[in-house]
Amino acid sequence: MPGTITLTQGDAEGVALLTLAHPAKMNAIDIAMWRELQALMLHLQAMAPADAPHAVIVRGTDGHFAAGGDIVEFAGFRFEEETLRDFHENVVAPALHALIDCDIPLFAQIEGNCIGGGMEIAACCDIRICGEGSRFGAPIARLGFPMAPLELEVVSRVVPEAVLREMLLEARLFTAHAALHHGLVHAVVPDAEVAAHTLARAKALAHLSPQAARINKRTMRQLATGGPSEAERTAHYGYAPSEEHREGVMAFIEKRTPRFQRG
C-alpha cells in the first residue's frame, strides 16, 4: 500500500498539520510521497499571507515520524547512476528545499523513529520537538550507500560535524536526550505529550507577528548562502509602512495586546 502526505489547513488559531502516513512501514517515504511533499510546500509558499497558516506542524502517524525511504523501491532505481542521481537530485532534494524555502514557520512533531529521510525532513523544520522514545540517525552505511551531497548539506545545518561523522561512518543511532544534547532538537517531552506540547508552541507562535516570522526566515536563508546582498538588505526594510508593523509597535505603546491578522 502506498504512502500519503496530507495537509490539513489552518485552524482558527492559524496552525496547519502536514501528516506523513505509510501504514505498516513506520511512515517510510516513497517516491510519490517525496513529490507530494514538494507540491504541498510549494502550495503553502504560494499562498497569500492573509490566507496562509501562521505555523505548520509536520508529523507522522502511528507513533513514528518517518523511518527513512521506502527500501522496497530501491532496487528499481539505485543500481544505475543516472536513475540514482535523478532520485536524489530531482526528487528528494527539491522536496527538502521546498521545506527550507517556505516562509511559514515549521514545527517537527517527532515521535518514534526519525531516521534517514525522516531526519532530513525534520532538519528542514524550524522547531523540533521529540518524545523520550525517539531515535535519530541515518544508518545507510548498513545498506551500502552514502548520503547524497544535497541531503548531507541540509542535515549538516543542524547536526554538528563530529556527530554527523559518527552518524554516517558508524551508522550510529542517537536517543532523544543525546539529540537534545547535540542540538538536533529543541525539546524532549514524555512520548504521550509530544503532540500537545508541539501544538501549544505552534499556537503561541501563531499569535505573534506572521510578517516578522516570514522576514526572519527569509533573512536567515540569505545569511546561510552568503547574503543578504545589497539589494536584499534594502528590500528588507520594505515592511516599514505595513499595518502589522504599526500595530505591533502601537499596541506596545498603548499597553494592549496586538491584533495581528489571522490567516
3-state helix, strand, coil in the chain (%, to 5): 50, 15, 35
pLDDT band at 9 (very low <50, low <70, confident <90, very high): confident
- Provide the pLDDT for residue 158: 96
**Grid coordinates in use for 128?**
523540533
For the chain, the average pLDDT equals 95
pLDDT band at 13 (very low <50, low <70, confident <90, very high): confident
- Backbone dihedral angles phi then psi of residue 170, each to the nearest 5 degrees: -105, 0
Res. 263: pLDDT tops 60 = no
Nearest to 134 by CA among 196, 171, 177: 177
Give the C-alpha separation, 115 to 136, whole Å.
Answer: 5
Cβ 6 vs Cβ 61: under 8 Å: no
Instruction: Give residue for cell 542521481.
Output: 85
pLDDT per position as a tens digit, 195-223: 999 999 999 999 999 999 999 999 999 99
Rg of the chain, C-alpha, whole Å: 19
Reduce the DSSP state of residue 79 to 3 states and report it.
coil
Res. 262: pLDDT tops 70 = no
Average pLDDT over residues 11-26: 91
Cβ 189 vs Cβ 131: under 8 Å: yes
Average pLDDT over residues 156-182: 97
pLDDT band at 260 (very low <50, low <70, confident <90, very high): confident
**For the whole prediction, is pTM greater than 0.85?**
yes
Cβ 206 vs Cβ 15: under 8 Å: yes
Q: What is the DSSP letter of 254?
A: T
Cross-strand pairs, 127: 107
Average pLDDT over residues 112-137: 98
> What ranges do the domains of the chain cover?
4-206, 210-253
Average pLDDT over residues 76-93: 96
Res. 11: pLDDT tops 90 = no
**Grid coordinates in use for 72?**
522496497
Q: Give the rounded percent of residues in the chain with a pLDDT score beyond 70.
A: 98
Instruction: Give residue for cell 500500500.
Output: 1
- Provide the pLDDT for residue 33: 97
**Grid coordinates in use for 139?**
544508518
Average pLDDT over residues 16-44: 96
Query: Which amino acid belongs to residue 217?
Result: K
Tell me which fold the domain 4-206 belongs to: 2-enoyl-CoA Hydratase; Chain A, domain 1 (3.90.226)
Burial class (CB in 10 A: 0-12, 13-18, 19+), 46: exposed
Q: What is the DSSP letter of 260?
A: P
